[in-house]
Structure 1
Amino acid sequence: MNNEKFHHIILSLSDNLYRLALSIVQDKEEAEDIVQDVFLKLWSKKDEWNNIDNAEAYCYRSTKNLALDRLSSRAIRKTESIDPQQESYAFIDNETPHMQFIRKEERSIIYRCIDELSQNQQLVFQLREIDGLSYGDIANVMGISEDLVKITLFRARKKMKELLEKNNDERI
């Protein structure tokens, strides 16, 4: 891939990658940083461009992984920064700390289940269920047929259902 292809193919993905990152981290500035970091990472690996089979899929995967890493490190920093002596809750909404804990735990379980999917299933699931891309867009990004996208998504959803049910049974 040369510089022109990089600008045409990779930089044209910036809006889609931004939406993907934003859907994960829920922070505009963080999502922008993630996309910029993915582009810098790819640009710094100019020598390896020919080894990347599908640059678009690589960008989506890198964005997803980096966003999840940032999200987990942000959660760790947040829990470490809580000072029990200074606990004053300013509730903007009516969500109790208990409900926040439950939602955080549910999200954690979902991401653990997503991690158990195959790499293709993870990417298809992420692009469809979280980013909301169409089957056609996913097929174009991954370089596969729309039918294969649908089959992969079906299998990913089925596996997610099994994993979530198994996790629910273990919690009871």
Structure 2
Amino acid sequence: MMMFPVAIMAIADESDRIFMEQLYCDHEKLLYKRAYQILNSKADAEDAVNNACVALIKKIPLLRTLECNVLSSYIVSTIERVSINLFNKRKRDNLYTFGAEEDFINGMPSGDLVPDDRLIKDGDTEALYHAILKLPQRERSMMQMKYYDGLSNAEIAQVYGIKPDGVRVYLFRARGHLKEMLGGENDGK
């Protein structure tokens, strides 16, 4: 028996479910092949196919009216769009995660450091690395964008869709959290 995506199995209307099961059977190989070509990952391709099925389920009335060749084109464009969106999301997520602690610490230009940043830079890099990993995701990402990638507050704000002053507040809080986690051991320096 063929395994269908959960989204298809969850369709309440039986005729819609049968329609989507048939559509999936007819285009399964094409869906996975195109998703894999874009994502180069079996797991990501499976996620993309599931997401594409969800998108297609929302368009069942339209899909029923399309001719075979137009329907295939619509399905291909849907899987491509979903795969590209997933690729961009993964790329964005990976872009702002931390690598080695030395990269982060050494990436901070010392001439541009404010006093709080010097306190952080003078500390034990291993303790700092572990403290950074404990920060909330948004603070951690913003610190990397600011101090490692060298982005301005305005550029970071654009990524998150907030105002530059909001970025400044997040960075201030992140530095405060780091100083708390490091036990204020650098206060005298």
Bigger helix share: 1
The structure with the larger Rg is 2
TM-score normalised according to structure 1 size: 0.43
Greater relative contact order (CA < 8 Å, ≥ 6 in sequence)? 1
TM-score normalised according to structure 2 size: 0.40
